[in-house]
């Protein structure tokens, strides 16, 4: 199957700093990627849709100025958590649908554990 | 807006027992439904989708449009089935590609 990677796998930062998380599709091109947030033993909450070459689409209640998304190429999307605070601590997961053989199958990254002190 | 409900947060069974993880949905269009599984310390992965009508690892799920359900079933649970299971709905139209997840069910299969 297709592979999606995330970097870093975990990061600890001080309150007020910014953190960048990368999501890469390793063996296929992804014009769209999705960013989720997952709390311990809870569901995945869609934050935004990352679109290559255009602005990201954010879900209701997600601050676009706080969670900056850049889809610089067909294989890379980045999520930057700006001025991070302890309440931003969470598990962030990206996914990418692959057009072939079926656009409807999405492949998930391993996730990034963010801890804000 | 679409919604996916998994009423059971926790489900415990003994090895060899049948298991059913419930999933109900609400969606105005024609739904495409999936079950995803997340084993301990692993990434989320697709288990099965309703359009394939296949059995994966002994699991099956049938879409019941009348009851708006997509329950996941396995006749004889195994210890390695212990994991978090998510039911998900794929929206169409302008929301194409966006998955809506249920709250998840943690399945524990005891020896």
Q: What is the three-state SS of chain A? A: CCCEEEECCEEEECCCCCEEEEEEECCCCCCEEEEEEECCCCCEEEEEEEECCCCCEECCCCCCCCEEEEEEECCEEEEEECCCCHHHCEEEEEEEECCCCCCCCEEECCCEEEEEC
Region B25-47 average pLDDT? 90
Residue of B nearest to A32 (CA): B97
Q: How high is the mean pLDDT of chain A?
A: 91
A35 at interface of B, judged by CB pairs closer than 8 A = no
pLDDT digits (tens, 9 = 90+) for A60-98: 999 999 999 999 899 999 999 999 999 999 999 999 987
Q: Which of B42, B43, B98 sits opposite A49 (nearest CB)?
A: B98
Region B74-81 average pLDDT? 97
In this predicted model, which residue has the larger pLDDT, B97 or B74?
Answer: B74
B43–A49 CB contact, under 8 Å: no
């Amino acid at each position: 199957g297709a592979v999606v990677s995330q970097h870093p796998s975990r990061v600890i930062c001080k309150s007020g700093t910014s953190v960048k998380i990368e999501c890469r599709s390793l063996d296929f091109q992804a014009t769209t990627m999705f960013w989720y947030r997952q709390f311990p033993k809870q569901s995945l909450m869609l934050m935004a849709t990352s679109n290559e070459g255009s602005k990201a689409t954010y879900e209701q209640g997600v601050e676009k100025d706080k969670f900056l998304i850049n889809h610089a190429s067909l294989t890379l999307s980045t999520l930057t958590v700006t001025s991070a605070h302890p309440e931003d601590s969470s598990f962030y997961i990206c996914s990418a649908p692959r057009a072939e053989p079926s656009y409807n199958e999405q492949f998930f990254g391993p996730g990034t554990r963010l801890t804000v002190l | 807006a679409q919604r996916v409900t998994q009423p059971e947060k926790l489900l415990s069974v003994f090895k060899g027992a049948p298991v059913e993880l419930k999933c109900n949905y609400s969606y105005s269009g024609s739904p495409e439904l999936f079950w995803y599984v997340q084993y301990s310390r692993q990434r989320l992965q697709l288990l099965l989708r309703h359009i394939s009508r296949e059995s994966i690892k002994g699991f099956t799920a049938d879409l019941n449009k009348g009851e708006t359900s997509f329950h996941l079933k396995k006749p004889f649970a195994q210890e390695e089935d212990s994991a978090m299971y998510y039911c998900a709905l794929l929206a169409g139209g302008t929301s194409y590609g966006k998955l809506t997840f249920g709250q998840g069910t943690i399945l524990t299969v005891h020896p």
